[in-house]
Structure 1
Amino acid sequence: MSETNLQYPIGTFEPKPFSNTLKEKMLSDLAALPALMEMAVKDLDEYQLNTPYRHGGWSPAQFVHHMADSSINYYTRCKFALAQDNPTITPFDQDAWITLNDAAVPVNVSLTLLHALHNKWEKLLTGLSDKDWMRTVVYPDREKPVKLWNLVSVSVWHGKHHTQQIVAFRESKNW
């Protein structure tokens, strides 16, 4: 598999307009993501978990820890969007975060966190009104506010993207 296919195995994010059908699918995907990530790294040994998936890329273990960090941030952004009017959110430097000491914990710690957080996150979003999905947050570096719908959409794509990177990497290595 080429490096491009390993880098974007499901393609790049493409926003979709709000619909109840897509909302239900997205909530289902959000709830399922931790189990899919867990299956993606199941039975990998320490060497495999810590092998970068491409030159200059992250390892499966780093992806798992990154998904925990990212999910914490997206979950918090969703709560801000629902609890405040158009709050400004703080971006996080994912490359710096992945070098911090907590990135060295076993992957099962981050997987456990993902399971708990996604359960809580899915409950937070279930039953929101269509109007709630249009609430916004402000990224300091963007001109327009971002809707809750788009926050969750990109987050779900992001989780699928990294999960599939691990799966494609495993397949390329016959692991």
Structure 2
Amino acid sequence: MQDIDILRYPIGKFAPAQTYTFEQTEKAIEQIAHLPKKLTDLVGKWGDERLDTPYRPDGWTVRMLVHHITDSHINAYVRTKLALTEDNPTIKPYKEGEWAKLPDSLLSIAPSLVILSNLHLRWATILESLSEKDLQRTYHHPENGREFSLHQVIALYAWHGEHHYQHIYQLATRNNWLEHVV
């Protein structure tokens, strides 16, 4: 991997498994449940200078990443509920790059951290209650013409949260900003 690829994909690109065990999915749900606290512990007290630092050249700032994680996981939560209440629903894609340009991406990260914390509480509560049969439920993604099982969705969003957390964590490591992180 080239240096820029390491900055772009600090934990590698998401590689979906052919199948998922219930135990793998439980571990991914645990990652989803703990992401808000982990992220808040890392960036919750950072000032504007750190929050407005891009995690890589030509990359989003930390502030934009926090807002993006929240936007993305709101969509994932809604898609999860759709898959559980409808038969293979077609979900609505969104243009994440365009969302990142909207004025709310310049706000303090506090509202997004609060939303993320409450959202993940609700999402994890649902996910933790799912049976193996529930985890097989799917939704259709029209951009790539594929169906995604909830097993896959859970794995993807566990990866997604850690992917962006590592963008920020590794930036903090490079800049010696980790004095208060445990």
TM-score scaled to structure 2, two decimals? Answer: 0.91
Deviating runs (4+, > 6 A) in structure 1? none
Secondary structure of 2:30 counterpart: helix
Of 165, 168, 174, 1:172 maps to 174
Deviates more, 1:11-20 or 1:114-123: 11-20
Aligned Cα root-mean-square deviation (Å):
1.4
Residue in 2 aligned with 1:15?
A: 16
Equivalent-residue separation in structure 2 for 1:148 and 1:24 (angstroms): 12
Deviates more, 1:120-129 or 1:14-23: 14-23
Q: One-letter code of the match for 1:122?
A: A
Of 84, 87, 90, 1:88 maps to 90
Equivalent-residue separation in structure 1 for 2:68 and 2:164 (angstroms): 9
Residue correspondence of structure 1 range 21-32 to structure 2 within 5 A: 21-32=23-34
Equivalent-residue separation in structure 1 for 2:175 and 2:132 (angstroms): 44
How far residue 172 of structure 1 moved from its aligned partner, in angstroms, is: 1.2
How many residues matched? 175
Secondary structure of 1:145 counterpart: strand
Equivalent-residue separation in structure 1 for 2:145 and 2:108 (angstroms): 39
Q: Residues 1-22 of structure 1: CA distance to partner in whole angstroms, max 9, x if unpaired?
A: x332221111111223221211
Equivalent-residue separation in structure 1 for 2:108 and 2:45 (angstroms): 13
Equivalent-residue separation in structure 2 for 1:142 and 1:157 (angstroms): 19
* Structure 1, unpaired ranges of 5+: none
How far residue 150 of structure 1 moved from its aligned partner, in angstroms, is: 0.9
Q: Name the % identity.
A: 37
TM-score scaled to structure 1, two decimals? Answer: 0.95
Equivalent-residue separation in structure 1 for 2:23 and 2:65 (angstroms): 29
